[in-house]
């Protein structure tokens, strides 16, 4: 919870894209020093957000298909 609260800066209970970017930055800077460019941070964040969205969409689509075929 401590880490979550550190990066959930607006205390919404969710990690938005900008907060996710700060988390990735902290994680990579710890591993690689300050070698992470803003461009790479945006790329990594967009990739994570996009993959999460696609997975959620896939789950909802499967649920929808299950409901439609059941009835």
How does pLDDT run across 11-55, given as a tens digit for each residue?
A: 998 888 888 888 888 888 877 677 788 888 888 888 888 888 888
pLDDT attached to residue 49: 84
What is the C-alpha to C-alpha distance for residues 55 and 50, in angstroms, rounded to an integer?
9
pLDDT attached to residue 52: 85
Side-chain-facing half-sphere of 1: CA atoms under 13 Å: 2
pLDDT attached to residue 71: 72
Instruction: Tell me what the mean pLDDT of segment 64-69 comes to.
Output: 84
């Amino acid at each position: 919870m401590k880490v979550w609260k550190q990066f959930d800066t607006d205390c919404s209970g969710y990690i938005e894209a900008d907060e996710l970017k700060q988390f990735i930055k902290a994680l990579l800077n710890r591993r690689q020093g300050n070698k992470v460019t803003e461009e790479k941070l945006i790329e990594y964040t967009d990739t994570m957000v996009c993959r999460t969205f696609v997975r959620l969409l896939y789950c909802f689509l499967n649920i929808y298909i299950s409901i439609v075929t059941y009835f």
